[in-house]
Amino acid sequence: MLNIGLVTAGFRAHETDWFLPWQTRLVHELQKKVAVRVFPLRYPVQDKPYQVDNVWVFPHAKGQLPGIHWLRMVQNRWWTMVQEHRRKPFDRLHAIWANEPGAIAALVAKSLKLPLTVTLAGGELTGLKDIRYGSQLSGLQRQCVRYTLNQADQIVVGSDYIRDQCRSLFPASTAKLHKIPLGVEIEHFSPLPEKATSTGELRLIAVGGLIPVKDHATLIRGAALAYRQGVKLRLDLIGEGSQREALQYLIQQEGLADRVRLPGWIPHHKLAAYYQQADVVALTSRHESFCLSILEGMACGLPAIATPVGVLPEVIQPGQTGFIVPIGDARAVAEALIRLAHHPERDTMGKRATIRIQHQFRWEPLVAQLIHLYAT
């Protein structure tokens, strides 16, 4: 059995902690076939190893502290992994994210002469100056990403979008790239056998942090344009973040106070019920490395409206399973909403979306691909 050391920014602290659900499911599937030990950098903040889902996790008590404590964190992670390697040797290290986790994993892999897999799972290759988003805006983060990708012998991406970014920024990485998407919990995210009787309103759902990169403002403006053109709609904007007050103000300004709800953060295991009561899933994000929330909505039988980021251009077939709209284009969002509001085959589009997700994004075969990659 292969022994894998997984280095990540954070990991769930206990069985009912819903921190990064996709990462939890990834490790759950991996541990069925390989031995996994997890080394989180930032979360949870505690000093004793613990076991969750038959996997040992080795946290760091001062992972959140800045300055000199960051250097101590690096030293602690390096020493902890070295000790674990001596106790039971790793066959490979795997870093989730190529910035801080990747750089630390690369240092350890080099010192122990171990192969390294890195998954590009966020904004490592992105730099959006106006909203201060992405690792490419920071000199230190850029160096971390460059060092990680140089040291890694395998670079895993979940979408053509990220693969193309990586090829453009780091041409030498091309031969190392392997596309393995994330999975969707098909057994949990699925349509209801029978949907509730329509109220005559188009029920929208968007799931994502209330942060600038998600650009929920474009979705709200698009919804307002469609509403003013006669589309009766309601929008549940699920998530939490720094943009809450600004979005609330925009909702008021656009005259949608009784049409848009901000219910806050909803636990992952409760999201399916929200998707199942909606008609359309939407997200107008400026960047995604993958975008599970749209796929989860599609798995629940919803056509999608989304921007061409992450895996979405590969999954959303215009007019068949939803619509792709340009980034920042509220008018295009409104046009897509109007088309879906009056589309005679909207339910059929949702059924096609479900079939596509069930066919392409089951966890088990995707994790099998990753384990096969580990062994090569």
Compute the distance between CA of residue 273 and CA of residue 192 in angstroms, rounded to an integer: 9
Cα gap 96→43, rounded to integer Å: 14
* Rounded Cα distance, 32 and 10, in Å: 21
User: What does the pLDDT profile of the chain (376 residues) look like in tens digits?
Assistant: 999 999 999 999 888 887 899 999 999 999 999 999 999 998 998 889 999 989 999 998 765 655 557 788 889 999 999 999 999 999 999 999 999 999 999 999 999 999 999 999 999 999 999 999 999 999 999 999 999 999 999 999 999 999 999 999 999 999 999 999 999 999 999 999 877 667 789 999 999 999 999 999 999 999 999 999 999 999 999 999 999 999 999 999 999 999 999 999 999 999 999 999 999 999 999 999 999 999 999 999 999 999 999 999 999 999 999 999 999 999 999 999 999 999 888 999 999 999 999 999 999 999 999 999 999 9
- Neighbour count for residue 138 (Cβ, 10 Å): 14
Q: pTM for the complete prediction? A: 0.95
Residues ≥6 apart with Cβ < 8 Å to 206: 216, 219, 235, 236, 237, 238, 239, 281, 282, 283, 293
List the alpha helices (DSSP H) in 233-270.
244-253
Do the beta carbons of residue 295 and residue 270 sit within 8 Å?
no
**Which runs of consecutive H residues, i.e. helices, occur in the chain?**
21-30, 68-87, 100-112, 139-151, 160-169, 216-228, 244-253, 271-276, 292-299, 312-315, 330-341, 346-360, 363-375
| pLDDT score of 71 | 83
What is the predicted pLDDT for the residue at 249?
Answer: 99
User: Where do the domains of the chain lie, and which CATH numbers do they carry?
Assistant: 3-183+362-375 (3.40.50.2000), 202-360 (3.40.50.2000)
Short-list 139, 137, 173, 170, CA closest to 153: 173
DSSP state for residue 183 in the 8-state scheme: P
List the one residue out of 220, 239, 216, 44 whose CA is nearest residue 131.
216
Residue 94: the pLDDT is 99
Sign of CA dihedral 315, 317, 320, 326: positive
Q: ∠338-339-340 over CA atoms, to 5°?
A: 90
Residues paired with residue 204 on neighbouring β-strands, in sequence order: 235, 280
Place of tokens 């409104």: 334
pLDDT digits (tens, 9 = 90+) for 274-309: 999 999 999 999 999 999 999 999 999 999 999 999
Element (H, E) at 282: strand 280-283
In one-letter notation, the amino acid at residue 306 is: A
Query: What sign has the CA pseudo-torsion 74, 78, 84, 89?
Result: positive
